[in-house]
């Protein structure tokens, strides 16, 4: 009760205080200049911290800052940007915020970017290349100063065009092998290779991969890593199925697999979403991990530990990837060429849990 009273009081106070200012008109630099009795030039310089540089007097600075505060001035970034050409904005385009892997990247990038005084505009292409193009177009017309993108298809011209325009950009996670666009990603070959090797060491020979988007570079590298590991072990039959980084794909492919007469003894899921689909199918068919079948997956996520059987996974260094992307971008923005290598692959890390059984 007391608290409620108190809150109501504070609301009343607020209303009394601010009512006079509830004009819809936004205040601008001009209003401040008038109130302070100085020119807009001086106001601009003070508000941008260039007072020293232009030798604005102390008392003038005071007057201006006070006026700005009193009028509750909020600068119009568009006007400023129009003049300076700088937008203090970085764009991030991911295929799906619903995928915890990308949400994690988005969250980290957002935090990193803020440290530089920039803000992030996040776009979600919904794994649709046409939407990706639209978003990119939108973002460029908003004068972004840099772009971090997880391309969702195999078309690259629209991205290359942005790069050619001189906007610093970097591909993250997915990239294009043939182009010289900068990227930072996981060493997917290595990850797939070691996961496969681990399965083989545990006695598995009948292994099926459920892959994601086929043309995507990470997927291609993973397939190659898988194949190489199998061949080096002298196993000739390699099964690779599926075509999407989605729960749905994992589910359907697993359902099909389970109906074969020669079931694999292990499944290698190429993403956490695919793995989730596998588990769903297993549940329906009453198949236990790892007793009936072994499962290993790309991508780590907190919830993996809490599943019925904690999943052995190839963890990608999400945090490092984000940091490197940002570092690269801002070194470009500052024309600081200290970073020469522009194509980076980070080592993944296998986290062994309980989803792979040693057989025979």
Partner DNA sequence: TTTATTTGTACAAACGTTTGTGCAGATATT
Partner DNA sequence: AATATCTGCACAAACGTTTGTACAAATAAA
- Residue 88 binding DNA, by CB under 7 A: no
- Residue 28 binding DNA, by CB under 7 A: yes
- Residue 23 binding DNA, by CB under 7 A: no
Q: φ and ψ at 354, to 5 degrees?
A: -125, 15
From the centroid of its chain, how far is CA 18?
Answer: 40
Helix (H) or strand (E) holding 102: helix 100-115
CB nearer to DNA: give 36 or 92. 36
- Residue 252 binding its own copies, by CB under 8 A: no
Considering only 5, 19, 59, 261, the residue that binds DNA (CB under 7 A) is: 59
- Residue 34 binding DNA, by CB under 7 A: no
- Residue 72 binding its own copies, by CB under 8 A: yes
Region of 78-86, 131-139, 169-177, 319-327 interacting with DNA (CB under 7 A): 78-86
In sequence order, what DSSP letters do the residues of 115-181 get, joined into one string?
HTT-EEEEEE-TT-HHHHHHHHHHHHTTT-SEEEE---SS--HHHHHHHHTT--EEEESS--SSS--
Considering only 5, 16, 19, 55, the residue that binds DNA (CB under 7 A) is: 55
Sole residue written with tokens 């260039």: 50
- Residue 48 binding its own copies, by CB under 8 A: no
CA–CA separation, 251 and 162 (whole Å): 37
CA–CA separation, 104 and 322 (whole Å): 9
Least separation in angstroms between residue 54's CB and DNA is: 4
Asked if 197 and 160 count as a contact pair (C-beta separation under 8 A), the reply is: no
Report the residue count for the chain: 360
- Token digits for 360? 């025979």
- Residue 45 binding DNA, by CB under 7 A: yes
CB nearer to its own copies: give 251 or 328. 251
Least separation in angstroms between residue 28's CB and DNA is: 3
CB nearer to DNA: give 54 or 303. 54
Asked if 185 and 173 count as a contact pair (C-beta separation under 8 A), the reply is: yes
CA–CA separation, 332 and 324 (whole Å): 12
- List Cβ neighbours of 232 (8 Å cut-off, separation of 6 or more): none
Binding string, 16-35, against its own copies, x = CB under 8 A?
A: --x--xx-x-x---------
Least separation in angstroms between residue 148's CB and DNA is: 25
CB nearer to DNA: give 12 or 82. 82
Region of 75-83, 235-243, 244-252, 344-352 interacting with DNA (CB under 7 A): 75-83
Question: Which pairs with CB-CB distance under 8 Å and at least 24 residues apart come from 227-231?
Answer: 228/189, 228/193, 229/192, 229/193, 229/194, 229/196, 229/197, 229/200, 230/196, 230/200
- Residue 30 binding DNA, by CB under 7 A: yes
28, 107, 122, 134, 343 from 89: Cα distances, Å? 22, 16, 10, 18, 23
Report cis status (omega within 30 of 0) of the bond before 290: yes
Asked if 298 and 269 count as a contact pair (C-beta separation under 8 A), the reply is: yes
- Residue 305 binding its own copies, by CB under 8 A: yes
- Residue 131 binding its own copies, by CB under 8 A: yes
β-pair partners for 239: 208
The binder of 188, among DNA, its own copies, none, by C-beta within 5 to 8 A per type, is none
CB nearer to DNA: give 64 or 210. 64
- Token digits for 326? 């940002």
Region of 38-46, 91-99, 179-187, 331-339 interacting with DNA (CB under 7 A): 38-46
Chain residues binding its own copies by CB under 8 A are 4, 7-8, 11, 14, 18, 21-22, 24, 26, 72, 74-79, 81-82, 87, 96-98, 100, 103-104, 106-107, 110-111, 114, 119-124, 126, 131, 135, 137-138, 140-143, 157, 160-161, 164-166, 178-179, 247, 276, 279-280, 283, 302-303, 305-309
Which residues of this protein are in contact with DNA, per CB under 7 A?
Answer: 26, 28-30, 37-42, 44-45, 47-48, 50, 54-57, 59-60, 73, 75-76, 79-80, 82-84
């Amino acid at each position: 009760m007391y608290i409620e009273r108190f809150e109501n009081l504070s609301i009343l106070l607020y209303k009394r205080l601010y009512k006079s200012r509830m004009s819809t008109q936004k205040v601008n630099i001009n209003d401040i200049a008038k109130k302070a009795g100085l020119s807009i030039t001086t106001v601009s310089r003070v508000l941008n911290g260039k007072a020293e540089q232009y030798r604005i007097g102390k008392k003038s600075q005071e007057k201006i800052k006070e006026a700005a505060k009193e009028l509750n001035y909020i600068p119009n970034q568009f006007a400023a940007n129009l003049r300076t050409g700088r937008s203090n904005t970085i764009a991030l385009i991911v295929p799906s915020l619903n995928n915890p892997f990308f949400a994690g990247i988005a969250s980290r990038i957002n935090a990193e970017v803020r440290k530089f005084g920039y803000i992030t505009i996040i776009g979600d292409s919904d794994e649709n290349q046409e939407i990706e193009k639209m978003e990119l177009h939108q973002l460029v017309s908003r004068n972004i100063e840099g772009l971090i993108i997880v391309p969702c298809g195999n078309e690259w011209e629209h991205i290359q065009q942005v790069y050619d325009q001189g906007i610093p950009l970097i591909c993250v996670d997915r990239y294009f092998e043939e182009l010289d666009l900068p990227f930072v990603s996981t060493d997917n070959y290595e990850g797939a290779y070691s996961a496969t090797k681990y399965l083989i060491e545990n006695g598995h020979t009948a292994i099926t991969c459920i892959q994601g988007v086929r043309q995507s570079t990470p997927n291609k590298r993973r397939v190659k890593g898988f194949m190489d590991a199998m061949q080096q072990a002298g196993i000739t039959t390699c099964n690779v199925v599926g075509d999407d980084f989605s729960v749905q794909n994992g589910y359907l492919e697993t359902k099909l697999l389970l109906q074969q007469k020669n079931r694999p003894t292990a499944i290698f899921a190429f993403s956490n979403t695919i793995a989730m689909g596998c588990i769903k199918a297993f549940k329906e068919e009453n198949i236990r991990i790892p007793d009936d079948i072994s499962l290993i997956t790309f991508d780590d996520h907190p919830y993996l530990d809490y599943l019925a059987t904690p999943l052995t996974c190839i963890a990608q260094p999400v945090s490092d990837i984000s940091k490197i992307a940002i570092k690269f971008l801002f070194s470009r923005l500052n024309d600081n060429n200290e970073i020469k290598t522009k194509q980076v692959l980070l080592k993944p890390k296998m986290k062994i849990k309980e989803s792979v059984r040693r057989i025979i």
